[in-house]
Amino acid sequence: MKHYESVIIGHISEDNNIDHEDHAMTICGGAVLYSSASAAALGHKVAAVTRLAEKDFDRLSQFTLDKDDIYVIKSENSTTMRNKYFTADKERRLSSCLSIGDPFACDDIDKLSITGDIYHFAGLVYGDFPNELIKKCAKLGKVAVDVQTCLRHVDRKDGSMYFEDWADKKEMLPYIDFLKTDAAEAEIMTGLTDRLEAAKTLHSWGAKEILITHNTEVLAFDGKNAYTCPIRARNLSGRTGRGDTTFAAYITERLQKSVPEALLNATAIVSLKMETPGVFKGTREDVEAYKKEFYGDFLKA
């Protein structure tokens, strides 16, 4: 039985991206790809568990992990996305799903013979994970959920995607140790525009630790104290994957570090990552150097 600090579960997608100037590019994406890259770059032992149709196995080459740490479950279909961005900062986009990978099943982890300190659900759309799989993993270790996979739905007729509240949130949040949302998702779930108040509400419903990303900062709340750390990227060419990079770094750092330490490291790595398109390919030493240059005020605090 192979053990990991984090077992990251999700579909690796083909993303057909069209920028605000109508330039098109096809790349591999998906939360599992960006998440595994950032956590591994900080030196954490992570596994990526994904589902793919056999014809799409070439996507696996985009992972930064050793091939022995990539676990593939065969699927009838793979996930393919189309993203049209309307602004240079990529904050506004219209996404559609051209095909959906098969859902993960409750016995998938058993078949792989791996264990984790954290089971990180890095999905793309509602239906990627059954509730019972989350409940099962909560008995095995800590559970981390990026709430995108609970809120983003696909219209099966035309592939258009839309957000709606998670009907099972009050049943499922007590099983979640780390919950990640962005500001818009937090508002969908709580009705609150104030990010701290939204985090407090999500905690009151059962989530133990909440991370809320925003284009200006990242907020962490552990039920007692709230901490924020500003994003200080010098450009936004690598905006895609911001939340995934942040969340995976934060939760793996939290295994040994305090909330403010983990938050600083996660915000620094995503700020550095956002300056270059694609997944993070640097090292912990690069992140430490970036902190010294751009987060000296936090290091002195």
Give percent of the chain above pLDDT 90: 83
pLDDT digits (tens, 9 = 90+) for 181-199: 999 999 999 999 999 999 9
Whole-Å CA distances, 76 to 29, 52, 272? 19, 8, 37
Residue 39 near residue 48 (C-beta atoms within 8 A): no
pLDDT for 199 equals 98
Tell me: the pLDDT tens digits for 58-81?
Answer: 999 999 999 999 999 999 999 999
The pLDDT score that the predictor gives to residue 156 is 85
Residue of 250, 249, 184, 189 whose CA lies nearest to 222: 250
Both structure tokens of 294: 């751009």
Question: Residue 237 pLDDT > 70, yes or no?
Answer: yes
pLDDT at 94 exceeding the cut of 90: no
- Average pLDDT score, the chain: 94
Per-residue pLDDT tens over the stretch 110-124: 889 999 999 999 999
**Collapsed DSSP state (helix, strand, coil) of residue 96:** strand
Average pLDDT over residues 101-112: 92
The pLDDT of residue 301 is above 70? no
Q: How far is CA 28 from CA 14, 59, 145, in A?
A: 5, 7, 21
Burial annotation 227-265 (CB, 10 A radius, 16+ → b, else e) = bbbebbbeebebbbbbbbbbbbbbbbbbeeeebeebbbb
Alpha carbons 100 and 196: distance in angstroms, whole number: 34
SS3 track for 144-155: EEECHHHHEEEC
Question: Is the model's pLDDT at 254 over the cut of 70?
Answer: yes
pLDDT at position 70: 98
Residue 8: predicted pLDDT = 98
- Max mean pLDDT among 20-29, 103-112, 288-297 falls in 288-297
In tens, the pLDDT along 3-62 reads: 999 999 999 999 888 988 888 888 899 999 999 999 999 999 999 999 999 999 999 999
pLDDT of residue 89: 72
| H or E element in which residue 221 lies | strand 217-221
Q: For residues 5 and 117, is the Cβ–Cβ distance under 8 A?
A: yes
